[in-house]
A and B are shown apart, each in its own frame.
Chain A
Amino acid sequence: KAGVTQTPRYLIKTRGQQVTLSCSPISGHRSVSWYQQTPGQGLQFLFEYFSETQRNKGNFPGRFSGRQFSNSRSEMNVSTLELGDSALYLCASSQDRSTDTQYFGPGTRLTVL
């Protein structure tokens, strides 16, 4: 069974721009969670989507948003990029809700210049 896939793998943007990241979960998985990973803060929870609805949200500003489609694929959007948004953005899928084991994708490395 194919794992979690994320596109693009690398992205370079400039301050003020916006960016959209994509995540395809493992086949049959209905929950998708997003995390931001930085050297200083480690892995931090952004939000979880299940059945096309945002279920949980971490402590991030409203510039960070997401959505989930009927096929469980998810996108994450960051508007008005700041230098501090440079990070590895990880998507994880689980079979049902976030109570299940989460399996991570390879991540999207975002660099903001």
Chain B
Amino acid sequence: EDQVTQSPEALRLQEGESSSLNCSYTVSGLRGLFWYRQDPGKGPEFLFTLYSAGEEKEKERLKATLTKKESFLHITAPKPEDSATYLCAVQVPYSGAGSYQLTFGKGTKLSVIP
């Protein structure tokens, strides 16, 4: 069974204190790994897609990396507006030909304190 585990469940950081969020996965036939940000009461907002081990992508204070077993979301010098729940999802084959579906982790709730 495909599994996606995110850690820690919650993380409190001081403004400017860099850290990393982890997403480990056990899946068959990974096609891609996605990172989303979700604010309370809103739908997930797309951040990154990673397709192969060694790939990295950056956006402002965020950098996502991928290995064969896990992905990291590095947050450099975070600001209070970075507070949100960060979700990772793996894109894996469904039973139909050419079909894929997203399996999500339960997220890391990040709080950045001024």
Binding site for B on A (CB under 8 A): 4, 33, 35, 42-45, 48, 55-56, 58, 90, 92, 97-99, 101-107, 109
Contact = CB atoms under 8 A, between A and B. Distances in A.
A55 B96 contact: yes
B45 A104 contact: yes
B42 interface: yes
Interface string B24-65: 000000010010100001111110010000000000000000
A92 B31 CA distance: 18
B49 A101 contact: yes
Interface residues of B, number: 25
A48 B99 CA distance: 10
A108 to B, nearest CB: 10
Interface of B: 31, 34, 36, 41-46, 49, 87, 89, 91, 94, 96, 98-107
Contacts of A44: 104
Interface of A is mostly: strand
B44 A104 contact: yes
A102 B35 CA distance: 11
Nearest to B87: A43
A26 to B, nearest CB: 12
A45 B45 CA distance: 17
Contacts of B41: 106, 109
Nearest to A47: B101
A98 B44 contact: no
B104 A42 contact: yes
A34 B58 CA distance: 28
Contact of B100 (A35, A58, A97, A104): A97
